[in-house]
Amino acid sequence: MSIQVSIVKGFHRGEVISGIFKLIKPYQDGAGGGYITVEAPDNCTWAKTNAPRIKLNKNDFTLLDAEGEKLGEHVTIDAGNGGKVETGTNYEAVFVAAETEDEAMERIADTFLMLDKITDACARSVIRGLVVSGPPGIGKSFGVEKQLEAANMFRKMAGQDPKYEVVSGGVSSIGLYQKLYYNRGQDQVLVFDDCDGVLFEEECLNLLKAALNSGDKRRICWNKESRVLATDDIPEHFDFEGSIIFLSNIDFERTISKGSRIAAHLEAIMSRCHYLDLEIGSLRDKLLRIKQIVRDGMLAPYLFSPEEEANVLSFVLDNAEYLREVSLRMVKKIADFVKADPRGWLEMAEATCLQRDAKFKRLLAKKQTEAAKRGLVLSEQA
């Protein structure tokens, strides 16, 4: 099916672009903002390639069918590996379009409640492996650690070490082997948070697959000489009886469907684990999640007045399009400014939390307002 795109306003190499073009690749989020790829029209003077990328906002274009009719919101666009554009019914989009804000917040709350339940099952050694997928900054780590702390409350009261460990950042294969060994016991939980790099390392993947094996005995082996293991008196093989929770920003299902080079590895991990997609992919859902967490007391430690708390949330909602990141971390950054300077926080938040476009948009609006006031003064004097 041939799909066209009607662009209200976009940019290519600094030049403003508008009009109707044949779509080659759908809208994608890039480091410098969103863009779509179109087919350059005949006798095009502004494009140096046959498939230029047009930078734009999601609200500045409309998808059209071959006859020029607007495509419905239920249509999904998939460029695939070969660039072929296909369409199909996006049931999630159909459902979300008919969903009220309260219903969406309830859906999101139910999903995170499910995460709490499965995390508790991991702490009780009922579930051996869990992969949690979702964008950064929506509370994956907070929810899991809170549940594990609750499961270890009596151990902490007794002065004993908790039976879980959170590993963040890069992990080498030998480091992973050590972590598995130290958390090998039953009722122990090893949490990998923001450790997506291990999915690209063959040795790390093999260790993870062994630890998540569905058999009764999960034997982990290190078949190479290692001074590190000898120094720490760690054997070259051991039985792993603990549980693993892997918190990832990678959408496993989507990555597999696109045929990524790690697709086979992700399939192997998913076949050995329970997989929970937190289903927060849209800006709308991220903002609703933020509203939900703020409503549930996220800002309580700041001892804000109701007005100050409302100001923090309003800043996020009003500037969502221009925030450097829409996340709970961003909420905390803004709250820190309000706490530091209740009167001057807005200028600090605008200077550090918003993208450059927002700054100049604000300066332009200020300049236009001042010009309008000067014009009004002159007319009154006349």
pLDDT at 147: 93
Quick count: other Cβ atoms within 10 Å of Cβ 278? 20
- Name the token pair of 109: 């709350």
| Phi, psi torsion values for 308, nearest 5 degrees | -65, -45
Tokens of 51: 């498939």
Given a cut of 60, is residue 160 above it in pLDDT? yes
Q: What are phi and psi of 265, to 5 degrees?
A: -70, -40
Give the per-residue pLDDT at 238.
Answer: 94
pLDDT tens per residue across span 286-306: 999 999 999 889 999 999 999
Q: Are 54 and 25 in contact (CB under 8 A)?
A: no
| Predicted pLDDT at 90 | 62
As a whole number, mean pLDDT of residues 360-380 equals: 75
Token pair 């087919």: residue:
39
Q: How far apart are the first and last CA of the chain?
A: 63
pLDDT, mean of residues 221-245: 91
Q: What is the pTM of this model?
A: 0.71
Highest averaged pLDDT of the listed ranges 26-40, 44-58, 324-338: 324-338
**21-42 mean pLDDT:** 84
Asked whether residue 180 carries a pLDDT value surpassing 70, the answer given is: yes
Report the CATH number of the 101-277 domain: 3.40.50.300
Select the more confidently predicted residue: 99 or 316.
Answer: 316
Alpha-carbon gap, residue 279 to 265, rounded angstroms: 22
